[in-house]
Amino acid sequence: MSDADAGGDDGSAGQRADGGGLAGPRATLAKRADCVRSRMGEMARWKADAIVILSTLALVYVLFLVLSWGQGLDANGTANTLARLTFLAAAYALLVLALNLHWGYAGLFNIGVAGFMSVAVFTLAIVSGGEGVGFGLPIWAGMIAGMLAAAALGAIAALPALRLRADYFAIVTLGIAEIVRYLMKSQWVASHNLFGQRVGLQGSAPVQVPSAQEYVYKLFTVDGSPRADPTYIGTQFFVIGEWFGLERPTVMAWGYALFVILFVVFAYLLLSRIAYSPFGRILKAIREDEGAAQALGKPTSRIKIYSFVLGCALMGLAGMLWQASRFTVGADAFMPILTFYVFVALIVGGSGSNAGSIVGGIAFVGLLLQGPRMLQAVISKHTDVPDTNTIYEGVTAFASGEVMPFVGYAIGNIELLQRMFVGVVLIVLMLRRPDGILGHRKEIAAATDLSRPTEGRGSGSAAASGGGGDE
């Protein structure tokens, strides 16, 4: 089983991503992976998945604990950092799961993720937003409407998908996402009188978007702000938090992170269920050979549209859970780079694997997104780096034997280096490991795993090439 394979080397996932490894360590690693594989081969699929996901999460947590300690954060600060990490990882995992349904299962190369998120978020703003923005309906109605809007846009976008080559389709989806972004900023949706209410997105300025976060926070205190009176449930959790030295906002942030995780679990279960349904089998057949699936009389077009629409709805959901929690959102929060981040996370995890999607989300947020920023804080705390304005000053100082000005410039611009590093990781993955950490295209489509008897005897290589039925 490939999941088991990753069970052996998930820890080195990040490091492996950019190195590829030498022959020696790789051989030992493979032996160890074989051993783990034979043990995990007997496990249920979900158990093996859970182990891989949780061990990745644990490793990223350990890394962040070390970095927080290096930064000199107290217990509250550390917990807050971890809450932020967990929340972002969950948001990315949800997005990657949805994208995996498109690219990993249906073979639809969608690079308009940001557009589908944005449509959902702004629909939420119109339906549930307050005075001057929206109609002020309950948040659940807004979130359902948001998902429906994203699904509807997905249905429109999927129509050309049936006729186009994958790379043309990619350009179409990117174009749609950009059109949506320009539209949301335009005067056309800035302000309208609808049903006697003044609604609109106010042009290019960010608008206030209602968030599920507010409602989760209201479980803890009466009006959702940390300073207000705690509710009955809130009192219990705040007391537990105090034992560990956590302040109220930290406890509440963890509450929301866990709320988002609930949705990830739900999406994972849904998508795993789909993957093993007749519907999922047709999806895999389409991905492998669309002509053959068609020849067998499968309604390939319809199936592709359904899966695309479902994935778009999930992207909308993720967008609302993530971006809306900033309270004010502008159209420019949905630049194409967001889409590419999700794609990198998918490729890190490996397309075609639901567990891999979650692992990819966690690894991306931990190692590529938040990690470098933490490292920046640690370095600038412990070393006295000078502020350097331009790279020229850094390089000239370097030539005269001073290293620090250059280091100062690099640390000051670590976000640029981080994005560059994302690009490097993407290239190296495509060159060395196009299937990602957990990705694999060979998997059993049958509901019962036909290869299990041989796996049970622990013949690792046969299992690897035959593919476990983990997704």
- Of positions 393, 433, 452, 459, contacts other proteins by CB under 8 A: 393
- Of positions 235, 396, 454, 465, contacts other proteins by CB under 8 A: 396
Residue with the two structure tokens 């299990």? 452
**String marking each residue 110-149 x if it binds other proteins according to CB under 8 A:** ----------------------------------------
Q: How far is the CB of 152 from other proteins (least distance, A)?
A: 16
Q: How far is the CB of 142 from other proteins (least distance, A)?
A: 25
Alpha-carbon distance values, 448 to 40, 119, 465 (Å) = 17, 39, 18
Tokens for 260, please give them. Answer: 């988002």
**String marking each residue 69-98 x if it binds other proteins according to CB under 8 A:** ------------------------------
Verify binding: residue 218, other proteins, rule CB under 8 A: no
Kindly identify the residues of this chain, within the stretch 340-369, that bind other proteins according to CB under 8 A: 340, 343, 347
- Of positions 246, 425, 438, 445, contacts other proteins by CB under 8 A: 425
Verify binding: residue 244, other proteins, rule CB under 8 A: no
Among the listed ranges 3-11, 20-28, 186-194, 322-330, the one in contact with other proteins (CB under 8 A) is 186-194
Residue whose C-alpha is closest to residue 433's, from 349, 357, 331 = 349
- Of positions 82, 153, 172, 365, contacts other proteins by CB under 8 A: 172
Q: How far is the CB of 168 from other proteins (least distance, A)?
A: 6
For every residue of 204-259, DSSP letters joined together read TS-EE---HHHHHHHHHBSSSSTTS-B-HHHHHHHHHHHHTT--HHHHHHHHHHHH
DSSP structural state of residue 427: H
DSSP structural state of residue 368: I
Q: Which is nearer to other proteins, 89 or 425 (CB)?
A: 425
Alpha-carbon distance values, 48 to 9, 90, 271, 366 (Å) = 14, 19, 17, 22
Verify binding: residue 227, other proteins, rule CB under 8 A: no
C-beta atoms surrounding 401 within 10 Å: 6
Sign of the dihedral through C-alpha 119, 123, 129, 133: positive
Verify binding: residue 296, other proteins, rule CB under 8 A: no
Q: How far is the CB of 417 from other proteins (least distance, A)?
A: 6
Verify binding: residue 431, other proteins, rule CB under 8 A: yes
Verify binding: residue 266, other proteins, rule CB under 8 A: no
**Contact in structure between 360 and 346 (CB atoms under 8 Å):** yes
Long-range CB pairs of 152-155 (<8 Å, 24+ gap) are 153/115, 153/116, 153/119, 153/180, 153/312, 154/116, 154/308, 154/309, 154/311, 154/312, 154/313, 155/305, 155/308, 155/309
The CA-based angle 202-208-214, given to 5 degrees, is 165
- First-last CA distance in the chain: 10
Check residue 442 and give left, alpha or beta (phi > 0: left; psi -120 to 50: alpha).
beta
**How many residues contact other proteins, by CB under 8 A?**
47
Among the listed ranges 161-169, 244-252, 316-324, 447-455, the one in contact with other proteins (CB under 8 A) is 161-169
Q: Which is nearer to other proteins, 21 or 226 (CB)?
A: 21
Verify binding: residue 205, other proteins, rule CB under 8 A: no
Q: How far is the CB of 189 from other proteins (least distance, A)?
A: 10
Can you give the binding site for other proteins, defined by CB under 8 A? 109, 159-160, 163-168, 170-172, 174-176, 178-179, 182-183, 185-188, 204, 340, 343, 347, 389-393, 396, 413, 416-417, 419-420, 422-427, 430-431, 434
